Structure 1
Amino acid sequence: MNQEVWSPVVYGRTWKVDIWKCAAPGGAFEHWINDAVDAVLGLNGYRLEDGPRYVLSRRDGRVFIGIGCMASLLSLSKCADDFNRPLYTCVGWVANGPDHLPRLAQLSEHGAAWATPLYERWIGAVWTDLRPHRPPQATAAAVAPWGPAEAIIPTATSAFPEVPEDHRLLVPEEMLHLAWDIMIADRSTTGTIVGTWGRRAQLTAEQDIATVIGVADLTAPVAVPRRARSAGALANAEQPRANSDGPPATAPGAHRHWDAKNHATSQRAKPPGSANQPEGDRGLRDRLSDWRGGWLCGVSRFRQVPDPVEGSEEAVAPQNGEDSLPPGRSLDDFRPPTLNGDD
């Protein structure tokens, strides 16, 4: 048994409270660990239902190893929130200058079994805690669940192209273990390896922190530029993808994870600066949505127009003649927008 000690890291929310930083050494999530967790989970745990992903990160002599997966892989009683939406999680271990690290095949085979007791313990401890601002729990170092590692001598470094500093390396799934072994063997390496993603089109800005990313639909390694990390640049660069298999688009300022308000309109967050935007500048689709819902100015008993774009010019009055409009309003105020967006 490996006698090295590693401190658990558990990232996941409870059934009721939308707090994700559950447990970490000293009760604090370090920035580089946050980045590694983001890289393996992606946007809202995107495509984790296809299978778990794994991450290995080195930074200043410290190492983080983790598994990102649907919570149902680790627990059948703590795998959904109060809206019955499936939860996802990242469970890992962090150590300072370790000698024994599990190879990718070993982590793939046993990672879920190693992570299950940690998830049950640390998520279970706060599962019914309803505090809205709960701090992370402090974890203590313990003996790692994997055995002593065999000596690794990388022999396939020539299989990978040169990667400029501002690029990341995408590799086929069958080559990811080679990159993993190189990072295990080279203690001076600083970087993050994450995989495996099903398709290159599924990658999001969260993976930009990664040095090497395993992608199943690649046939050869390829170096690609990193995208800008600033919030403004990401807002411009991360436009909705035309490919239906791509990740869901997130409006600038939208919360990264689910919460109680996100179960129906998760991506309807307004972009920064839109709070004072005049009504006339709103998009045609938003105004059509308001019209079809029949909720303008609190008048909820107007019959919905079958199709405000192709349909009638006039708002349809309620069948009950006793209903009245708000003071100072007329039916003209409730006309549907025209095709060209002019009211």
Structure 2
Amino acid sequence: MTWSTFECWRRGAVVLAAVVIAWSTTAGIARATSQGPVADGPYVGTLPCADCAGIRTTLTLYTMGEGGAPLVYRMTSTYLGTRDGDRTEERLGPWARVGSGADAVVRLEPSHDAIRQSWRRADRDTLVLLDRDEKPIATAMDLRLRRDATATAARLEPPRTLWRGTLRRQADRLLFTPCGGGQPMRLRDVSPEVVVTAAITDLGFDRRGSVYLEAYGTLRQGELTVDRLNRAGVEMGCPKEAIGFRAFGHEPSWSLVSNRSVLRFVEPGGATLSAPPLPLSWRWPGGRPDRAEASLASSTESSALNVVLTPKICRDTMADAVYGFTAQVGVARPEPARTLAGCAFLGTEGLP
């Protein structure tokens, strides 16, 4: 990636982070709705497939304002006629605009070599798939996505609300007091198989009577319904600084944290690798965002990291804590290559 391309993407990522922060309040939602983001698309078409009848594809590009800085893309790909029938996958991640005019290229996942895609903007309403070197593909097959003038592109939804605070039991009720104060509210767990309650029970919640909890949910008529765990712990407290996400592991001990200024990985043994901050990219089976898996790839001259966060309960028995994601970090540089496993949780990074 050239410096100008990276800088273009970085500015878009910074703007996206600002939108996410703005969305964290009701007033912010109003501002984001009036100023952007704006949907460009959808672009639709059926692309060739090596082992299926075709890939029905819908791509929408979101920008900050009309023609503004790139924010994220959303792509739905349906693999037609596979052995298991039609299979749909959805993606949400960063994109970059490279060049202008006849040389304009739309680059999806600009920092992620394994899943990067590039498209030439043939005209205002047409995108043409390019090869990995961003050259035309010599084929008679149709590689175009065309703007569907009859379809209304969905607006980019604000991130799901992450609630942070202390959970206590009062008789047969669960009472949640949010960070920053406020009146306690009743909490109801509607997660699949009541996994949030099961996780905090494993921490000894019934015996202790209180626990710090971060969960995604909705407040209606004074009752908070939660359906997804971010993290919970006996010795945790309200966060003192904003981070995008954090992953860590024990035996060996390692840590990875992303914030607005840096992606920092502390290796087993204490050596530190730093890289520019990157947003997570998400993909999930069609219609199942609750199974969304996040990934991130970062490389510099001295380091190369590949991160995957999977939505699965992860228990940290050393700290009486439980997390909503497992983490796997592949470290290719410096040598030797290795893979580390652990737990993870989100901060300002929003769920799809």
Shorter-normalised TM range: under 0.3
Structure of higher RCO (CA pairs closer than 8 Å, 6+ residues apart): 1
| Bigger helix share | 1
Higher CA-based Rg: 1
Structure 1 length normalisation: TM-score?
0.24
